[in-house]
Chains A and B, each alone.
Chain A
């Protein structure tokens, strides 16, 4: 057993993402969690039995800090900041679900707490670990597509995540809607591939609650422009399309291994021995969690950086805040037909 395998791990928050992602990943890597924390004790007990956890608790308390070396934080986003800061300051390593926090100040405090506690802070942007995103990232960085001119990202499906409470629907707890939820995955991938954002334009369909649909238009410092459309109410194209001066590529967001379209120079590109034609099939969400977890554990073991750092998490939170700061209403004509405005654009790109 390696040193990292002897880590005593806590899971703070035992909702659907822990049950379907983190706990199966721990099990796959041979870990038994030392502690499960959740307000729903019945649920925590059931999961403790299923995943052979050492102890359960309704809330993270000071006495628990001696019982764990590291923790996966998967509470409602409202609590990410305070929980992470508590853990990190005490030198406990943290892998926090996205978004890292719902407020920028808090995200900065989390990053500072990790530095102060000399702890490894990873952020759960699990989609980065798909074969196709790793390959596409390498493709963009290789220069094979030339200078990136434009990207067009559409991600939408009818929301059906098995929520256990209404926290996702409350701005005070979730921090926002589809943008801060699925959208931060996209922001993470976008920043990773295309660098810094120069300016944003943002519209959404919220009427005092949290948005189900939104549209982001971006200008990057590199000169590239991009569109991101996100939906919890519609099935969209679910692809990321990248156009450069020397070629293009389009890959699927949901199917983690599918290149939909590519110019010849992209199609023949090989990264880590993989091309679109040889990309391993059948990668599924649990596999991504295993990959994420093993790389975070490796960073703890080696004292290195996890693939998605606290600074990456902060970048995504800052981008969300920039969008909400310039928010304009997305007035769909059927919502208030008596003040109907023509639709300036549709999702049909």
Chain B
């Protein structure tokens, strides 16, 4: 259906955006245009014949150039460090889509809008509530803007809320834990028995393409997950398997709390890696607010400090942060019934298949794996 159509992907250099581009080119034979904030991050994207448009979401002129002539826009961009810019950017994107008569805007949101996840069934009927977790609150606000534009300005938009997206190059749920397991230990609560609603990236991409095509998708939100839940223990052990390490530890809440409160350990952690401060104290919103007010030079310095990591021989012990702890303990069953019904979504990657491909990637991307 997207064959020969001009399609814009924002956030195209990222994990999901890049995989979307791959499938749009290889399977859909679409003409892909990519909004690129930093060219330096586009090495994998550049493997494909895509037209790159330089700019950020909030840059109205760049967005206008990027959207002009597009049939479909996939919005995968999100800047964790710039929450307000995401909101401004969304408005710019909505206006550009309406101005140029885009046939469909598919916006990628997140299941984090429902955090902390409830035990039992979760579907789209459950209301979302801002609670001070900035990522979640920003995503909720963006959804609200898009749904309002769909209702009041006839924006043909669809929102997808993927669960735990994994696969090759998944920064949050593959690369980050793998790096930590290689460097030391990763701690899970509850003996790892919480439920992980994982979705292999290709299933999510298929849902995005369906959302671009189905008329009944307009103005709707869809939870997108894989065909089955696994426990977090299963998920992390599968990531660990190709590494051949013994890095997973299962601690009680008390042990996690006690370690998090160990002053000497925390001081050492912060000195070695200043951004650890954020996982220890509830200061992320404050830091983000300060960051927003900084000038460009100060922002560069702040990012330098944020990314600083001293090389040490001390094994890393990764404890779940404030948002992860309830996520790892929840027994949530995410319903994909609505996506199946209205989009015709049918996940094709059972966990075993998706993880087997992910393990191949881990062996390839991390020399020394077995």
Contact indicator per residue, chain A 117-139, by CB within 8 Å of chain B (1) or not (0):
00000000000000000000000
Q: How far, in Å, is A285 (CB) from chain B's closest CB?
A: 17
Name the interface size band of chain B: 35 or more
The answer to whether B61 has its CB under 8 Å from any CB of chain A is no
Residues B367 and A336 in contact, CB atoms below 8 Å apart: no
For the complex, give the distance between the alpha carbons of A158 and B171 in Å.
13
Residues A236 and B50 in contact, CB atoms below 8 Å apart: no
Of A60-68, A161-169, A252-260, A276-284, the one contacting chain B is: A161-169
With a cutoff of 8 Å between Cβ atoms, the chain A residues found around residue B168 in the complex are 332, 334
- Residue in B closest to A232 when the chains form the complex, CB atoms: B43
The answer to whether B44 has its CB under 8 Å from any CB of chain A is yes
Residues B40 and A159 in contact, CB atoms below 8 Å apart: yes
Residues B167 and A207 in contact, CB atoms below 8 Å apart: no
Residues B39 and A337 in contact, CB atoms below 8 Å apart: no
Tell me which of A162, A169, A332, A349 contacts B46 (CB under 8 A).
A169
Inter-chain CB contacts under 8 Å: number: 101
- Residue in B closest to A170 when the chains form the complex, CB atoms: B46
Given known A-B contacts A335-B22, A343-B360, A210 and B47 have beta carbons under 8 A apart: yes
Within 8 A of A (CB), among B154-180: 167-169
With a cutoff of 8 Å between Cβ atoms, the chain B residues found around residue A237 in the complex are 367
Contact indicator per residue, chain A 163-183, by CB within 8 Å of chain B (1) or not (0):
111101110000001100000
Residues A163 and B40 in contact, CB atoms below 8 Å apart: yes
With a cutoff of 8 Å between Cβ atoms, the chain B residues found around residue A166 in the complex are 36, 39, 42, 52, 54
- Residue in B closest to A174 when the chains form the complex, CB atoms: B46
Given known A-B contacts A234-B365, A236-B367, A347-B364, A335 and B26 have beta carbons under 8 A apart: yes
Residues B50 and A209 in contact, CB atoms below 8 Å apart: yes
For the complex, give the distance between the alpha carbons of A177 and B361 in Å.
21
With a cutoff of 8 Å between Cβ atoms, the chain A residues found around residue B40 in the complex are 159-163
For the complex, give the distance between the alpha carbons of A208 and B47 in Å.
6
The answer to whether B202 has its CB under 8 Å from any CB of chain A is yes
Residues A212 and B44 in contact, CB atoms below 8 Å apart: yes
The answer to whether A195 has its CB under 8 Å from any CB of chain B is no
Residues A343 and B26 in contact, CB atoms below 8 Å apart: no
The answer to whether B25 has its CB under 8 Å from any CB of chain A is yes
Contact indicator per residue, chain B 20-58, by CB within 8 Å of chain A (1) or not (0):
001001100000000010111111111111101010000
For the complex, give the distance between the alpha carbons of A210 and B363 in Å.
23
The answer to whether A270 has its CB under 8 Å from any CB of chain B is no
A selection of 13 A-B contacts at a CB cut-off of 8 Å is: A169-B39, A169-B46, A177-B47, A207-B26, A207-B47, A209-B45, A212-B44, A212-B47, A235-B367, A333-B357, A337-B202, A337-B357, A343-B364
Q: Which residues of B contact A (CB under 8 A)?
A: 22, 25-26, 36, 38-50, 52, 54, 167-169, 202, 357-358, 360-361, 363-370
